[in-house]
Amino acid sequence: MRQNNFWFICLLFLLSFLVSETHARQKVVRILAVGNSFSQDAVEQNLHELADAEGIPTIIGNLFIGGCSLERHVRNARTNDSVYTYRKIGLDGKKIEKKNMTLEMTLADEEWDYVSLQQASPFSGMYETYLTSLPELVKYVRIHLPKKCQLMLHQTWAYAANATHTGFKNYNRDQLTMYYSIVDAVQKASKQTKIKIVIPSGTAIQNARTSFVGDHMNRDGHHLDLKIGRYTVACTWFEKIFKRNVVGNPYYPKGMDYDQREVAQKAAHEAVLHPECITELTELKQPATKVNYDEHKVPVYTLPDVLTLNNGRKVTTAKEWSKKRRPELLRLFETQVYGKTPDRPKDLHFRVLTEDKYALNGLATRKEVAVYLTKDEKHFMTVLIYLPNQRKGPVPMFFGINFKGNHAIHPDEGITFPSEERMVTYGRKQMFPRGSAASRWPVEMLMEHGYGLATFYRGDIDPDFDDAFQNGVHPLFYKKGQTRPAEDEWGTLAAWAWGMSCAMDYFETDKDIDSQCIAIFGHSRLGKATLWAGAIDPRFALVISNDSGCGGAALSRRKFGETVRAVNRQFTHWFCRNFWQYNDKEETLPVDQHELIALIAPRPVYIASAEEDRWADPKGEFLSGVYASPVYELFGLPGLPVKEMPAVNQPVLSGTVGYHIRSGKHDINMYDWTQYVKFADQHLKKDH
């Protein structure tokens, strides 16, 4: 019994150590707004969720009195009056409220990283009202805050044009007069008080008003609409504080449609880039066609014939396909969809950074390998590899890119956590917790089935946000005077695919890996990149697409769920710029995604869908496999052996093209992996 107690205490100690280490690495960001009802609009809804979606733990406070001016804040500070309401959103997202709080008590409640101040809306564009009160308030606040804390000024928004608020008369009841007055007053106040951070909420709202949303950002003429108004400002706070492009952030309020989400994120992003002027959202003057989830509303379309050359001649042999048609299609996809990629670096080289032959309680050998892209070793990706210890020779392997960092795929403490220097490279202040994506990576199951597993973090090649292609590998290959890829050159998806080929160069040198039996896989946007990697690099023996949707496995011409316009406008960096000319014009594309699948032939490919993931168009994904099959048949292979979409959870594994649609949502789970292993067993296991 004493021995059991001893081990129990050791276990508790170990768990507490791991938790404390995770918290230490995942620094909590603490944000306090000192304001009024306009700070309620800004921080009490959506900001915590936006940060959480990016793996950033936050505590958010709002200390307010309705209509409170800077002058009143100063009076309250002088007398330490307990007249405030204090609301705080904790790490778990739950909100608590305390009444009768003082400013001093709230400033001491947390070790705040950021504290914002703002003027009451009627006076927000009147610089003289800042001048008389803000310096004293700033001095008081700074005395009561840790030195690390950064002060911010909140640039609030102009009223709706039809607002009846009495304070609107200060601006001749003119919205633009009020807006420009606010911008000018906050700019002067920030210089006068040496507050370096200004949150341009007012500019974000004005940007959004140039879209199809128009002057419908407010619920009563001055407070923000609870959906798009508040979301737009929360997006602005998120991007300004965390220095992370909010466009593409997966969180948005329940009930918000795609078009509103796009307006809010784009308006916020442009406001952070250009905080003192209005950016016309010219591409968002009209909402996109409503997302179609009705099979009866799929337009009549004609697919390009996969076996017809550009000159109209039919391809009838595998040799003609390989020598003539395949190069034509590759060129079209390169120049019109994904973008041309450079050759792999001449200075590409590798180094094993760590190796543990007894990882996972002896089940596997774990390696971490640096794939250096430059001679000076400043640019590299770290490939994490697990190999089963029960092996007689080189093993087949699954290989894919991960979303959250190598450390996130498994709770294994031996996986190196990204350094602060690497996080700067990724454009992140915090990384996702260790093991947070483990449900998508069944490491032990793969080891037990005789497969290795390799992965790298997408941010090592190109972080997944649009900064005009400065933060990834693209600048390494710019010509003299070039600042971004040309219209037909690589976007982020092509860069990730290129990175997979660089890793493959290492796999060919590792005697423990059967480099002729590597299956690449990818989920969602990484599924798009994986299909392209399989198309351009014939060394990959098997290619797996999981819920990859538009620009992945789904036929573009169906215009079902995610469309070319939707993917290009929401994720401006994924594809080459030439792809934008097909927004709402899918029928003019010279290719479609069945031809992408065909480019992988004669190698096996597996396409997976999810029943509830209508955005990715499961039927369109299935049909790509069907219409790619004639190319496989040229090689004497069965392709996808069924023409009708199978029932849910009834996988088709007997062809060279496999397919399943499972129950559930947009994700990759154990059901998916079980089918992938079965399919790989048929095609990669040499003793099968």
660 is known as an active-site residue: no
Nearest to 444 by CA among 456, 453, 433, 434: 453
Cβ atoms within 10 A of the Cβ of 376, count?
A: 8
**Distance between CA 529 and CA 532 in Å, rounded?**
5
Question: How many whole angstroms separate alpha carbon 252 and alpha carbon 570?
Answer: 13
Instruction: Give the whole-angstrom CA distance, residue 10 versus residue 523.
Output: 39
Alpha helix stretches (DSSP H) within 274-337: 318-320, 326-333
Residue 73: CB partners within 8 Å, gap ≥ 6?
34, 103, 117, 133, 137
The one catalytic residue among 524, 545, 556, 624: 524
* Look-up of token digits 């396409």: 607
3-state secondary structure 473-487: CHHHHCCCCCCCCCC
Tell me the CA distances in angstroms from 117 to 140, 205, 450, 560, 623, one per residue in order: 12, 19, 59, 46, 56
CA atoms within 13 A on the CB side of 288: 24
**CA neighbours within 13 Å on the CB side: how many for 110?**
23
Burial 313-325 (b: 16+ CB within 10 A, else e): eebeebebbeeeb
H or E stretch at 358: strand 349-358
Compute φ and ψ for 59, nearest 5 degrees.
-120, 125
Would you tell me how many other CB atoms lie within 10 Å of the CB of residue 47?
24
Residues ≥6 apart with Cβ < 8 Å to 491:
338, 339, 485, 573, 574, 575, 576, 577
Q: Burial of 538 by CB count in 10 Å (0-12 exposed, 13-18 middle, 19+ buried)?
A: exposed
φ and ψ at residue 387, rounded to 5 degrees: -125, 135
Alpha-carbon distance of 327 to 317, in angstroms, equals 15
Active site residue 524: yes
List helix spans (H) across 124-257.
127-143, 175-193, 201-209, 228-242
Q: Of the residues 144, 165, 666, 683, which is catalytic?
A: 666
Enter the tokens of residue 327.
């190069």
Q: At how many degrees (to 10) do helices 326-333 and 525-536 cross? A: 140
CA separation for the pair 605, 576 (Å, rounded): 24
In Å, how far are 54, 212, 557 from 171, measured between CA atoms? Answer: 39, 25, 51
- Radius of gyration from C-alpha coordinates of the chain: 28
Structure tokens at 621: 């994904």
**What tokens does 86 get?**
């204090």
Q: Is the Cβ–Cβ distance between 237 and 42 less than 8 Å?
A: yes
Q: Say what angle helices 228-242 and 201-209 make with each other, to 10 degrees.
A: 130
CB atoms within 10 A of CB 265: 26
Q: What is the spatial distance between Cα 639 and Cα 618, in angstroms, rounded to a whole number?
A: 18
Task: Just list the catalytic residues.
Answer: 524, 666
